[in-house]
Amino acid sequence: MNLQVQTGEVFAAHQDCVYTLAAGDSEEIFFSAGADGKIIEWNIANPEIARLKGNAGQPIYSVVYNKNKDILAAGLRDGGLHFISLKEQALIKSVQVHARSIFDMITLPEDQFMVVSADGSITVWNAANFTCMLQAHVSEQHLRAVSISRDRKLVAFGGSDTLIRVYSLDSFKLIKVLSGHTLSVFSLAFSPEGNYLISAGRDARLRVWNTIDFQLEDVIPAHMYAIHHLAFSPNGKILASASMDKTIKLWDAENLKLLKVIERSKMPAHSSSVNRLLWASDQQLISGSDDRQIRNYKITY
């Protein structure tokens, strides 16, 4: 695959590290949040305009957007959840169910979303009425990552105990516990075809698990330092990984061969740890970093 990367816009309004990114109601719109507690709405076409949508007064580690209800949910350092109505431009609900930081969230069918917390538990919330639909204790240590398969049958959790737990999403029954990482698991991503699960974390390696019997198929030394996030492109052709080593790497999703390294020595890129990735489209990759900046990369292949 002949892949090319062109550096695009820089979005600079945060006053501290950028920890999370979330897609908006179109390919042009996305949200960011981080250590300064601010939630900002961006338009890719107008990077100089930053629209403040909320301020939690404490670090925000995760954000998700529900298009049907036009609601943003923000996961806070103290374990609180803020629900923000974009229509009303206001915080409409604040709940405190988790005892520790909310590190990751994903959207689910039927206007629901799932939260994972450093207290080792997960919750499922209804975006229509902000009620908790499910609460379950998953780990004795921090949970850091969650991913669901595209067919919505499986959900996987990773955390500080180095283990990955795979559950049935419908019944929420434990299917398998995967052991292979030597340090904390920070990110998980089911392949678009659903035939494998990729995991990554503090040990800087990609691990590939099949989804038939969840055997470990491959271990790939991928980065110099911790891998913070993994994200497949919408068409499923490219896997992107973001690392504490200040780089983003692009991999062929079919064979996991390295295609491109985005780093400062080769092009305008982040000067500090890269924390989060968001594919706005198959040709637009957005990244957030400890350097307080958000960058947009144009990918062609």
Q: How far apart are CA 249 and CA 227, in angstroms?
A: 10
Task: Answer yes or no: are the C-beta atoms of 98 and 117 closer than 8 Å.
Answer: yes
User: Domain limits of the chain?
Assistant: 4-300
120 pLDDT band, cuts 50/70/90, is very high
158 pLDDT band, cuts 50/70/90, is very high
**Residues 182-203: pLDDT tens digits?**
999 999 999 998 899 999 999 9
Q: How far apart are CA 27 and CA 122, in angstroms?
A: 29
- Side chain identity, residue 124: V
CA atoms within 13 A on the CB side of 159: 25
The burial class, CB within 10 Å (0-12 / 13-18 / 19+), for 27 is middle
Percent of the chain scoring above 70 in pLDDT: 100
Identify the bridge partners of residue 93 per DSSP, sorted by sequence position: 83
Q: Indicate the average pLDDT of the chain.
A: 96
Task: Answer yes or no: are the C-beta atoms of 275 and 242 closer than 8 Å.
Answer: yes
Q: How far apart are CA 178 and CA 162, in angstroms?
A: 9
Specify the pLDDT at position 217: 97
**Residues 217-228: pLDDT tens digits?**
999 999 999 999
CATH H-level, domain 4-300: superfamily: YVTN repeat-like/Quinoprotein amine dehydrogenase (2.130.10.10)
**Residues 122-139: pLDDT tens digits?**
999 999 899 999 999 999
CA-nearest of 226, 264, 230 to 250 is 230
Specify the pLDDT at position 109: 87
**Residues 37-95: pLDDT tens digits?**
999 999 999 999 999 999 999 999 999 999 999 999 999 999 999 999 998 889 999 99
- For range 9-25, the mean pLDDT: 97
1 pLDDT band, cuts 50/70/90, is confident
Task: Answer yes or no: are the C-beta atoms of 115 and 109 closer than 8 Å.
Answer: no
